[in-house]
Amino acid sequence: MVTGTAKITMYAPWVHSLKEKRMIVKSVCAKVRNKFNVSISEVEEQDTHQSIVLGLACVTGDAAFADRVIDHVLNFIEEITEAEIVDVKRELL
């Protein structure tokens, strides 16, 4: 069993309130959950307007598959939001 995790840091310069940020985070998380069989949630920077940090986890039987799932999720997030992905930290356990 392999657990693939990623911490995705994003920057959204047009966000000026926590309400706006919350709408973006909820939308991205719901769309990712619906398309992929992964867990995703905001994990840090909840009180910062323009910074979004999402945690992602998937469990598979193969490390290469877990890595591909994370790649697909990252590409999907880039397609559905205008926020810029500035950092990704991956870990396969």
Residue 86 belongs to domain with CATH number: 3.30.70.1120
Q: What is the pLDDT of residue 46?
A: 87
Q: What is the pLDDT of residue 49?
A: 86
Domain coverage including residue 42: 2-92
Mean pLDDT for each consecutive 10-residue tract of the chain (93 residues)?
94 92 93 94 90 94 91 94 93 91
Residue with tokens 């309400």: 19
Q: What is the pLDDT of residue 23?
A: 92
Q: What is the pLDDT of residue 37?
A: 87
Q: Count of domains in the chain? A: 1
Burial class, 42, CB count within 10 angstroms (exposed 0-12 / middle 13-18 / buried 19+): middle
Q: What is the pLDDT of residue 47?
A: 87
Closest CA to 45 of 80, 76, 10, 13: 10
Query: Roughly how many angstroms between the first and final C-alpha of the chain, as a whole number?
Result: 8
Q: What is the pLDDT of residue 26?
A: 94
Q: What is the pLDDT of residue 38?
A: 93
